[in-house]
Structure 1
């Protein structure tokens, strides 16, 4: 079930949202870049990002929320949702202004699924990175430049991602690449 769980500190989530209606969230290259800039501004301070994929009409994030000593446990969901709301609102406001558009850009709810085990985590990672292929936007995952996949391949370059956490599940970069090119069943991900 999606969206029934409250956000919790030190928990890993698959988070995704879709455009409201049939429009696009990203119309041009600068939109993708600005979205990632806003992700840095609002989310990096509260979460370690493990993976992302931005597609024309939706996005996926895989992240772990950091602990905050300044927030009571009872308030953690509201604190984390507020940061997410600010993130998406900042993007939507800039997008609406740039394209002389009015109204909500994203669907009302941020969909989320708590990751509870290693198998689920790795399947979500595979799903997120293969999303452009699954939607017919590219034939190879490394050709989609709005995903974190290539950042893992070029691990010398600095990144907004916490690649170390994910790479501990793979003995080498070659195993990481082979896993992403293998067939994985997504039926139990329940993300629709």
Structure 2
């Protein structure tokens, strides 16, 4: 599965991007909140978000594109990609203005992989939520505020995250928590 694969409606994707060079995408709490606001504005209308994690220099999203009837020209990829372009460009412009910087904030292209396998899907959920611990930012993933993990364990609270679909793989919230504490082999997952 190529990282330049075209987007298609109805499919699940792992989407991720890194900061350009050694820079940070998020320097302070306001940055994370602003990015999440933009995510809701541009991505929720075209997709269901199953999971996300925002890290200081990169982010991960696990989404399923909605079946959009309004795409009449047949170019699903361009229509869906436009929303991501709006998200990333809007964020980068505000970030550059705030910190007096110029140039590209994100790497040249948005990396993406279509998810066609349930085992891979569940491992991605684990990988995305455990990213802050894997990078040594926290010991307990519940302490990272910028991922969808807390939305799942606080099941009773309203959320923009589509939790029902992923919770089908777990009998209880406690099973979900225990799965995230387990060691999962990511060897077959390649992140270019």
Shorter-chain TM-score above 0.5: yes
Counterpart in the other structure of 1:117:
117
CA contact (8 A) 1:52 1:147 kept: yes
Residue 73 of structure 1: CA displacement? Answer: 7.1
SS at match of 2:74: helix
Residue 139 of structure 1: CA displacement? Answer: 0.5
CA contact (8 A) 2:12 2:63 kept: yes
Superposed counterparts of 1:122-137, under 5 Å: 122-137=122-137
TM-score by length of 2: 0.98
Distance of 1:43 and 1:4 partners within structure 2: 19
Distance of 1:55 and 1:183 partners within structure 2: 21
The C-alpha deviation readout for 1:88-119, integer Å capped at 9, x for no partner, is: 00100000011111000000110001100110
Unaligned runs of 5+ in 1: none
The C-alpha deviation readout for 1:39-83, integer Å capped at 9, x for no partner, is: 000000000000000000000000000011111473000101111
Unaligned runs of 5+ in 2: none
Counterpart in the other structure of 1:101:
101
SS at match of 1:74: coil
Distance of 1:150 and 1:69 partners within structure 2: 33
- What number of residue pairs does the alignment pair up? 192
The C-alpha deviation readout for 1:152-177, integer Å capped at 9, x for no partner, is: 01111111100011101111111101
Distance of 2:116 and 2:168 partners within structure 1: 17
CA contact (8 A) 1:2 1:191 kept: no
CA contact (8 A) 2:4 2:111 kept: no
Distance of 1:166 and 1:174 partners within structure 2: 14
SS at match of 2:8: coil
Counterpart in the other structure of 2:152:
152
Counterpart in the other structure of 2:35:
35
Residue 180 of structure 1: CA displacement? Answer: 0.4
Distance of 2:39 and 2:91 partners within structure 1: 9
Residue 2 of structure 1: CA displacement? Answer: 3.4
The C-alpha deviation readout for 1:1-50, integer Å capped at 9, x for no partner, is: 43232100000000000000111100000000000000000000000000
Q: What root-mean-square deviation, in Å, do the aligned CA atoms of Structure 1 and Structure 2 show? A: 1.0
Instruction: Tell me if 1:23 matches 2:27.
Output: no
